[in-house]
Amino acid sequence: MTIQSSMSPHMAIVVSNVSVKNDITTLVSHIHIHDQPLVKTVHYTAFVTSTEAELFAIRCSINQVCNKANISKVIIITNCIHAAKKIFDIKSHPYQIHTSVILNELRQFFTKCQENHIEFWKCPSRLR
């Protein structure tokens, strides 16, 4: 997948991982875009759920990627796919602030070009 994205200047890959230990949440996000340096972002926070943390990581990553010129396809790989599903849940839930910001970013991304595309892929953080 990384080799394929290296050949396409219009694709961005975001790998997001969240872990919680002793009420400290660590969010790590890597963004790979054709012939640009790999961007690694690390956030630490305390006393938040892993879903909140993952939505925040997705939010920041989408913001960074959607503001890049010529990006038409985004693949977000996460170990917390249930959090990504919350983005598109229109029912009332405690994560609506994050999801509304993410949806606004995505609306702008899709408004640029109707052929823009985003995918969410699940990748477990450890093998069992």
Q: Residue 50: name the closest of 70, 13, 78 by CA.
A: 78
- Domain assignment present for residue 25? The answer is yes
For residue 24, the domain's CATH number is 3.30.420.10
Question: What whole-number distance in Å separates Cα of residue 99 and Cα of residue 92?
Answer: 11
Count of domains for the chain: 1
- Domain assignment present for residue 94? The answer is yes
- Domain assignment present for residue 127? The answer is no
pTM: 0.79
3-state secondary structure of 82: helix
- Domain assignment present for residue 128? The answer is no
Q: What pLDDT is attached to residue 127?
A: 43
Structural domain including 42 reads: 2-122
Q: What pLDDT is attached to residue 5?
A: 58
In tens digits, the chain (128 residues) has pLDDT values of: 656 656 778 889 988 888 888 888 888 888 888 878 888 989 888 888 878 888 888 888 888 888 887 889 999 888 778 778 878 777 777 777 778 888 888 888 888 888 899 988 888 765 43
- Domain assignment present for residue 92? The answer is yes
Question: What whole-number distance in Å separates Cα of residue 66 and Cα of residue 72?
Answer: 9
